[in-house]
Amino acid sequence: MPNHEVSPCQLVIFGASGDLTKRKLIPSLYDLFIGKMLPEHFAVLGVSRTPMSDDQFRDHLLESARKFIHGLDEAKWREFAQMIYYHPGDSVLPEAFEGIRKRMAEVSQLRKTGDNCLLYLSMSPNLYEPTIVNIGNAGIVTEGKSWCSINRASRPWQRIIIEKPFGNDTESAAHLNRVLGRVFEEESIYRIDHYLGKETVQNLLVFRFANAIFEPIWNRTYIDHVQVTAAETVGVEGRGGYYDSPSGGAMRDMVQSHLLQVMAVVAMEPPVALEADGIRLEKSKIFRAARPIKAADVPLMAIRGQYGPGQMDGKPLPGYRQEPGVDPNSQTETYAALQLYVDTWRWGGVPFYLRSGKRMAKKLTEIVITFKHTPHALFREQTLKKVNGLTPNQIVINVQPNEGIRLRFEGKVPGVGMNIKSVVMDFDYVKQFNAEPPEAYATLLLDAIKGDQTLFKHRDEVEGAWRSVQGVIDYWKENDDEPLPTYASGTWGPSESDIMMDRNGRHWRNPT
């Protein structure tokens, strides 16, 4: 694996007054600072339209840091805040870039960061294109330009981190990739998916490829089906405007992006080496092999739903259509479930069930690998659950919370007689390592500073993932007048989704 070192650099956040900066980026950078993982010469320059001075920006961030950083040490914060600067500017206006460049040069001198810079687009997606074009025209990007192509290792680098959504569909994603490609080389584009930064998703690579015992059974011969669930108890959290827009809805917001990435890590072939290119290539192949769902199959293999009023912990909750910023007749899905097939030698015939929803019964993200029944039901009479003989073995990978891996298998109940019951072997991340998993954004920001693209998406993955679900998106759009299945807030989603599983003789794992 190549040795990725941190080098001096400046992080420029476009859209810095937004939610992501205070909720995720600054807390993650503070953690990296406390852990002494940032480069010695480092600076953050926030850019957005709101007029603010450096100090006002720092005060604004401190206010949220008190809320979002557990165990904030204010003395250390003051030290950390010294590396944060602010420049008011509208990145969609070409003329704003004279000031932005000047400020970048000043900050670079003050903090001795040199010309390396990481440009973070944390803004409304409709502003991506003009901002990228302006960055290109402003001459900030020198990488790939002939005059400085002599010694790659010593020349300054410019990288761009871009948040999801990467387009609303296959076509707009390809367009965005072309726009990016005119300004940046692919190796300088960091398409962030915070699910890839989650510790347990990374651990999946280790689980699969650092152990000899799982890989031989990781295929259609032994595995019956795979479930990936990302359930949230929250609603749209005041983001009704975004969620109800063409980029919103559970399919685009969660399934197309995060869940398909998780599925790809479960399904990919072992890469030849632990390198960004190798891993991303193997994931891309999964998207190529994911069988697009045909229009006629959509009603059977793709379920959407919207949360209605309900309650959680005894508190009444409004339905989606009553949320602020949401059209009272909205047809946006807050729940989506898919049955997908990956047409490869390894996975032929094994269904992958993906689902995600807001206002569900429990906050959890998990991957469930269910194995086939034993070939011969030797203990049929002895099982406590006599319905279908033995309960099949399962590996449950808890992505969050309670990060860990659980293996369910059958055991004998102590005592006379031969009674059989499912038991669990449990690896609990926190107990085992006596440490909380780091925030995904901290991992990803550090990787981008180091120039490691392993946990970022390649353009082929993004476009491939859109292609895998495009048929469903089109069908849902064409049939927008059909009544949308609903589910009460605080439940496990619409009954149509359970019916999809029943039809296959399977059921969702809905942990209590």
Catalytic residues: 258
Is residue 366 a contact residue for ligand BG6 (CB under 6 A)?
no
Is residue 31 a contact residue for ligand BG6 (CB under 6 A)?
no
Using alpha carbons only, what angle is made at residue 452 by residues 7 and 289, rounded to the nearest 5 degrees? 165
Query: From the CB of 301, what's the least distance to ligand BG6, in Å?
Result: 23
Whole-angstrom distance, CA of residue 299 vs CA of residue 337: 11
Q: What are phi and psi of 75, to 5 degrees?
A: -65, -45
CB 113 within 8 A of CB 8: yes
Closest to ligand BG6 by CB, 193 or 224: 193
Query: From the CB of 447, what's the least distance to ligand BG6, in Å?
Result: 17
Closest to ligand BG6 by CB, 199 or 224: 199
Amino acid letter for position 49: R
Q: Which residue sits closest to ligand BG6, CB atoms considered? A: 253
Residue with tokens 């919207």: 306
Whole-angstrom distance, CA of residue 279 vs CA of residue 293: 26
Closest to ligand BG6 by CB, 232 or 403: 232
Site string for ligand BG6, 72-91 (x = CB under 6 A): --------------------
From residue 465, give the alpha-carbon distance in Å to each of 95, 161, 187, 200, 245: 36, 19, 20, 21, 20
Q: What are phi and psi of 59, to 5 degrees?
A: -65, -40
Cα R_g (the chain), whole angstroms: 24
CB atoms within 10 A of CB 402: 15
Query: From the CB of 78, what's the least distance to ligand BG6, in Å?
Result: 29
Is residue 261 a contact residue for ligand BG6 (CB under 6 A)?
no
Closest to ligand BG6 by CB, 194 or 458: 194
Which of residues 253, 323, 439, 452 is near ligand BG6 by CB under 6 A?
253
Residues 180-209 that bind ligand BG6 (CB under 6 A): 194
Query: From the CB of 266, what's the least distance to ligand BG6, in Å?
Result: 17
CB 333 within 8 A of CB 353: no
Q: Which residue(s) pair with 396 in the sheet? A: 368, 406
Whole-angstrom distance, CA of residue 309 vs CA of residue 320: 8
Is residue 333 a contact residue for ligand BG6 (CB under 6 A)?
no
Closest to ligand BG6 by CB, 134 or 334: 334
Query: From the CB of 230, what's the least distance to ligand BG6, in Å?
Result: 6
Is residue 232 a contact residue for ligand BG6 (CB under 6 A)?
yes
Query: From the CB of 409, what's the least distance to ligand BG6, in Å?
Result: 29
Which of residues 344, 365, 398, 468 is near ligand BG6 by CB under 6 A?
365
Whole-angstrom distance, CA of residue 378 vs CA of residue 412: 14
Q: Are strands 364-371 and 223-231 parallel, antiparallel or unpaired?
A: antiparallel
Closest to ligand BG6 by CB, 194 or 359: 194
Among residues 435, 455, 433, 458, the alpha carbon closest in space to that of 444 is found at 455
Interface with ligand BG6 (CB under 6 A): 194, 230, 232, 253, 365
